[in-house]
Amino acid sequence: MTKGSSTELIHAGESDIGDAVPLTTPIYETSTFVFENAAEVAAYNQGKSTKYLYSRYANPTIVSVERKLAALERAESALLFSSGQGATTTILMAHVKAGDEVVCSAAIYGGTLHLLGDLLTRFGVLARFVTIEELAEPERVLTAATRLVWFESPINPTLRCLDIAKIAAACRARGVLSVIDNTFASPINQQPLALGVDLAMQSATKYLNGHSDVTGGSVAGPSALVDPIAKVRRLVGTVMDPYPAYALGRGLKTLPLRVARHNANAQAVAEFLAADRRVSQVYYPGLRSHPDHAIAKRQMTGFGGMVCFDLDGRYDRAEKLYDRLKVIKRAASLGGVESLISMPVLTSQWGHTDDQLRAAGVTKGMLRLSVGLEDAEDLIADLDQALGN
Ligand SMILES: Cc1ncc(COP(=O)(O)O)c(C=O)c1O
């Protein structure tokens, strides 16, 4: 039967790759997958088939990157999401319900704070924010109603570190789930699952991808905890799209190389700032002066690319330096090849009350640097000129 040109253009050549065996996983930019007959669909529905049905459920490009991530995290399972916030929302929806208490570090990424404190409370989740000092003695903050503990280490933006193994052990002893946002460290510098944490979440937007061109999120952990999250992801539709998954998979291949350079550049920048009298305070876990240097040394194999510093708590001084930079770009986010600077009061802690700022340890004179992969001398020279007289 001769077909019309519209039919030919739509169907000819589709999925016809012949004997080509690609070295890299192609981008399966398809929303759905084809079956031969009804029996194949029935087998899929009964869990007796390895076929794919619909990309919101699973997609080969995404699954390939999830396997890479699980291997990196030394986890049984990993999932990708459309953003870090998508990951956080989906994890919480899968593991908490109305009436459950979530204990959350008050010193945490602003988006997590607002999600828990403003949004999930509308659905009956009880969010209780605790200080770093309180969380350092975790058995004291857990109650009979506590279902889950959510924390970061190093913490955004002060880079304070919490004893991960201690928090994980206290949670496990009481049947409470522990979840860490491991975005700042990346799994190269810190392996929270090996320290006993139940689930490790990350904004893949940052170091995992590393090129500032993907928004994504991830979670890794045992299948018994990850599978329920996958079920919720199907319902709420927070899955990543195949194209950014491909870019993320490409970025992941150089993660160890990039992180080693981020670590070295950040240490050099932090040491320069710490020795400069124009800077009142430097926060970097790799500096001996950092209050949590000992904890960081114990649980991290590298101290990361994030450096925070303070100019006497003065907004006017921070603003001046921010505006004068020439190499370092004024942009939110972190973890990319480019060095970025942000003023936490204008970005991650925007909208915080003075009390919330105090709890997060953030001042109006703080600047947060995501140290990139440029030549360290150029970054130091840029900061030097921007600090002025
Ligand atoms: C520590 C941390 N966690 C989570 C997020 C949220 O990730 P995303 O922006 O990919 O949704 C961010 C974003 O800046 C972050 O810094």
Report the distance separating Cα 129 and Cα 136, nearest Å: 13
Kind of pairing, strands 217-221 and 329-330?
Answer: unpaired
With a cut of 80, say whether residue 20 has pLDDT above it: yes
Shared-domain flag, residues 264 and 197: no
Q: How far apart are CA 349 and CA 357, in angstroms?
A: 7
- Confirm if 153 and 195 have CB atoms less than 8 A apart: no
pLDDT tens-digit readout, 175-224: 999 999 999 999 999 999 999 999 999 999 999 999 999 999 999 999 99
Two tokens, residue 2: 């001769």
CB of 85 shorter than 6 A to ligand 1: yes
- How confident is the model over 78-86, as a mean pLDDT? 98
Q: Tell me, yes or no, whether 110 and 211 share the same domain.
A: yes
* 183 C-beta closer than 6 A to ligand 1: yes
Candidate of 156, 159, 161 to mutate for ligand 1, largest count of ligand atoms within 8 Å of Cβ? 156
Asked if 83 contacts 205 with a C-beta cutoff of 8 angstroms, the reply is: yes
Q: How many residues does the chain have?
A: 389
Q: Is 32 within a domain? A: no
Q: If you search the block for the tokens 């199907």, which residue do you land on?
A: 234
Same domain for 58 and 159, yes or no, is yes
Strand partners, 77: 221
Is residue 245 located within the same domain as residue 265?
no
347: containing domain: 255-387
Percent of the chain with pLDDT over 90: 90
Of 190, 219, 252, which one is at a domain's C-terminal end?
252
Looking at the structure of the chain, the number of domains it has is 2
Instruction: Let me know if residue 119 belongs to a domain.
Output: yes
Q: Which residue of 104, 152, 203, 333 sits with most ligand 1 atoms within 8 Å of its CB, as the best mutation to test the pocket?
A: 203
Output phi, psi for 177, to 5 deg.
-75, 135
Q: What is the pLDDT of residues 26-74, one digit of tens each?
A: 999 999 999 999 999 999 999 999 999 999 999 999 999 999 999 999 9
- Provide the phi-psi class of 335: left if phi over 0, else alpha when psi is between -120 and 50, else beta: left
Are 239 and 327 in the same domain? no
Q: What does residue 274 show for φ and ψ, rounded to 5 degrees?
A: -65, -30
Ligand 1 mutation pick, 150, 205, 342, max ligand atoms within 8 A of CB? 205
d(CA 246, CA 214): 10
Residue with token string 């997958």: 33
Active site residues: 56, 109, 181, 206
Q: Is residue 247 part of a domain?
A: yes
- The answer on 264 and 211 residing in a single domain is no
- Cβ of residue 84 lying under 6 Å from some atom of ligand 1: yes
Burial of residue 131, with CB atoms counted within 10 A of its CB: 0-12 exposed, 13-18 middle, 19 or more buried: middle
Ligand 1 atom at minimum distance from 333 CA:
14
Work out the pLDDT band at 1, boundaries 50, 70, 90: confident
| Closest C-alpha residue for ligand 1 atom 8 | 84
The pair of three-digit structure tokens given for residue 150, joined into one six-digit string: 């959510």
Q: Hunting for tokens 């000129």 — which residue is that? A: 385
Q: Is the CB of 59 under 6 A from ligand 1?
A: no
Q: How many A from CA of 38 to the centre of ligand 1?
A: 43
Distance CA(35)–CA(38), nearest Å, equals: 8
Based on the fold, state whether residues 63 and 147 are members of the same structural domain. Answer: yes
∠ CA 247-199-191 to the nearest 5 degrees? 75
Query: b/e for 252-264, b at 16 or more Cβ within 10 A?
Result: beebeebbebbbb
- Answer with the one of 203, 221, 252 that is the final residue of a domain: 252
Tokens 């999600």 locate to 115
Residue 215 beta carbon below 6 angstroms from any ligand 1 atom: yes
Is 30 among the domain residues? no
Closest CA to 188 of 294, 71, 105: 71
Q: Which atom of ligand 1 is nearest to the CA of 217?
A: 10
User: Tell me, what CATH number does 376's domain have?
Assistant: 3.90.1150.10
Question: Peptide bond preceding 154: is omega within 30 degrees of 0, i.e. cis?
Answer: yes
Q: Which two tokens stand for residue 169?
A: 């052990």
What's the token pair of residue 283?
Answer: 């926060």
CATH number at residue 181: 3.40.640.10
Same domain? For 206 and 269 the reply is no
Structure tokens at 45: 């529905």
Q: Is residue 86 part of a domain?
A: yes
Alpha-carbon distance of 284 to 263, in angstroms, equals: 11
357 CA distance to ligand 1 middle (Å): 18
Q: Do 246 and 295 fall within a single domain?
A: no
Judge if 75 and 208 occupy the same domain: yes
- Residue 77 and residue 94 in contact, taking contact as beta carbons nearer than 8 Å: no
Give this prediction's pTM.
0.96
**CA 78 to centroid of ligand 1, rounded, Å:** 18
Q: Which residue has the tokens 């409370």?
A: 121
* Torsion (CA) 349, 83, 284, 192 in degrees, nearest 10: 130
* Torsion over CA: 50, 52, 58, 60 (sign): positive
Probe target for ligand 1 pocket from 88, 162, 183, 348, with the most ligand atoms within 8 Å of CB: 183
Q: Tell me, yes or no, whether 262 and 324 share the same domain.
A: yes
Identity of the amino acid at 376: A
- Of 235, 252, 269, the last residue of a domain is 252
pLDDT of 137 higher than 90: yes
Q: How far is the CA of 368 from the centre of ligand 1 (A)?
A: 14
pLDDT of residue 31: 97
- Is the CB of 205 inside a 6 Å radius of any atom of ligand 1? yes
236 and 96 in one domain? yes
Q: Tell me, using a 6 A CB cutoff, whether residue 109 lines ligand 1.
A: yes
Q: Whose CA is nearest to atom 16 of ligand 1?
A: 109
Residue 107: the pLDDT is 85
Specify if 132 maps to a domain. Answer: yes
Residue minimizing CA distance to atom 14 of ligand 1: 333
Residue 73 located in a structural domain: yes
8: in domain = no
